[in-house]
Structure 1
Amino acid sequence: MGPKTASGNLLERRAGVALWRQIADRIRQAINIGEFGDSGMMPPEMQLAERFGVNRHTVRSALAALASEGLVQAVQGRGTMILRRDRLSYPIGKRTRFSEGLQGQAERIAFQCLGHGRTVAGAEIAEALDIPPGTECITLETLGGADGIPLSRASHVFPGPDFAAIPAHFERFGSITRALAEVGIADYTRLSTDVIARHALPDEVAELKLSPGAILLETVAVNADGEGRRIQYSRTRFAADRIKLRIES
């Protein structure tokens, strides 16, 4: 019989994924749904090892990874304490704005530019922005956070030379909405948002200060100006244990 899941079912071993990472995933999920009750403490390592059908060393490695994420903390003489914290709620609707969406939930909301440049639109971006493949586009890479904690890592694409000044305006104001206003886009709306969940890649782990195996919520969104012209394609990765997405009509 194989290792068990947090809910008691058999754990399917995933090829190429270390067992301790799989155990960390199950524990993370259990913490997020409040499965460990109100004690504020994780079950003992031996109990977790029996529950998942693994040895204590594997459980210890999983708990160490979760501790680096800030989800748990070892307490001398007591065991492993769950560091409870409410995930921020980020609304996704017709007028999605990062800062406005988190207002009242954090004291300091900040964006930073990680890089910018130019690219040629491939098939996916060309279709999303309704432009011919091969069109030169402006790119912007950003990191968004609240109260010093990284929440999102995003890649934005804007169609054509009309948007060449976007990176400079973003670096000046720390706001895509303000940057778009500076190039004549007074308002814009969300046309579509697709959401998937997946494991963070190594560069995302580093940028969002996560542990290997952490789960991301990834959105792919397209925005349009008041005349319906598609002006922005964004792929945003949110740390799933720090933020939850709320879909609004």
Structure 2
Amino acid sequence: MPQSERHGYREIAAKIREGILRGEYKTGEALPPEPQLADRYGASRSLVNRAMQVLAGEGLVRARQGRGTMVTWLPPMLHSPARYDRSARENQGAKGAFDNEVRSLGLEPQHEITVERSEPPADVAEALGLPVGEVNCLVRRRRLLASGIPVRLNESWFPLDIAEGTVLEADGPVIVGGVKTALAELGYPQVSATERLIPSRLPTDAEANGLEISPERTVVQISHIGKTAEGRAVEVTVTVAPAHYLMAEYTFPLT
């Protein structure tokens, strides 16, 4: 039995993992084909294939139809109140916090956005202080990618009396500073926000498809409600992200 067979696929996975983490295999790019990897690591192709399955289970790689196996490793992005600072959201023309975070990793932020006027779910209507069962909201649905890797699904809801006919209806990432800057310029600056995290759950089929992850990968859900100084809720955003791409940190006073 060849030495590679004695060591097994886990050693092959470890070698490829090391190559990914040190940048030999770059995020967003395709790995060499399996026959090349088999030659490089002195292993059979079947062992390399099993190693790929291990790495895919860790969220480090992902098979793409017609494109081979892509490196999808990203360091966890820190989710903290500081990301909402205007200076961060607008840094070098960023179109919101996500743009700034992705660029800081040396990757290219990408947005896939659809906008419509819609009846909000009951919990969103309640949070915004709107009647249930009416088309009284604008919703911006966004799939956010880092160099082609889907890392966020966002749904942002706004009262229609605020958002109708404004830049918030633009079907694209045209808002420098993101929706919070847009709301501020419309006369509704947010001064406080409440967030609720569901730290680990399985994705729905639609979420797994949108994030291009297996149904067994866990996701984090963050529900965010932003309010003005008068206490009016003007934004409800629900974010879903693969759990391995997100790390939350909060600082708060103790009494």
Task: Name the TM-score, length of structure 2 as normaliser.
Answer: 0.59
Q: CA deviation at 1:103?
A: 6.9
Q: Which amino acid aligns with 2:105?
A: A
Q: CA deviation at 1:159?
A: 1.1
Aligned to 1:23: none
Q: Unaligned 5+ residue runs, structure 2?
A: 1-13, 20-48, 63-71, 90-96
Q: Which amino acid aligns with 2:79?
A: Y
Please give the alpha-carbon distance, in whole angstroms, between the structure 2 residues aligned to 1:85 and 1:103: 10
Aligned to 2:193: 191
Q: What SS does the aligned partner of 1:161 have?
A: helix
Q: CA deviation at 1:152?
A: 1.0
Q: Which amino acid aligns with 1:209?
A: E
8 Å CA contact 1:106–1:146 kept in 2: the answer is no
Q: Unaligned 5+ residue runs, structure 1?
A: 1-35, 42-59, 74-82
Please give the alpha-carbon distance, in whole angstroms, between the structure 2 residues aligned to 1:115 and 1:85: 26
Aligned residues: 188
Please give the alpha-carbon distance, in whole angstroms, between the structure 1 residues aligned to 2:124 and 2:76: 31
Q: CA deviation at 1:84?
A: 7.2
Q: What SS does the aligned partner of 1:133 have?
A: coil
Q: Structure 2 vs 1, CA of residues 104 and 139 (structure 1 numbering), >3 Å: closer, same or farther?
A: closer
Aligned to 1:123: 122
Q: CA deviation at 1:209?
A: 2.3
Aligned to 1:89: 78
Q: Structure 2 vs 1, CA of residues 188 and 111 (structure 1 numbering), >3 Å: closer, same or farther?
A: farther
Please give the alpha-carbon distance, in whole angstroms, between the structure 1 residues aligned to 2:50 and 2:238: 32
Please give the alpha-carbon distance, in whole angstroms, between the structure 2 residues aligned to 1:232 and 1:223: 5
Q: Which has the higher helix share?
A: 2
8 Å CA contact 1:143–1:153 kept in 2: the answer is yes
Q: Structure 2 vs 1, CA of residues 189 and 100 (structure 1 numbering), >3 Å: closer, same or farther?
A: farther
Q: What SS does the aligned partner of 1:145 have?
A: strand
Aligned to 1:154: 154
Q: CA deviation at 1:65?
A: 6.8
8 Å CA contact 1:194–1:221 kept in 2: the answer is yes
Q: Identity percentage over the alignment? A: 22
Q: CA deviation at 1:100?
A: 7.5
Which of the residues 30, 34, 53 maps onto 1:64?
53
Q: Which amino acid aligns with 1:130?
A: G
Task: Name the TM-score, length of structure 1 as normaliser.
Answer: 0.60
Q: Structure 2 vs 1, CA of residues 180 and 110 (structure 1 numbering), >3 Å: closer, same or farther?
A: farther
5 Å-filtered alignment, 1:11-30, equals none
Q: CA deviation at 1:94?
A: 9.2
Q: Which amino acid aligns with 2:124?
A: I
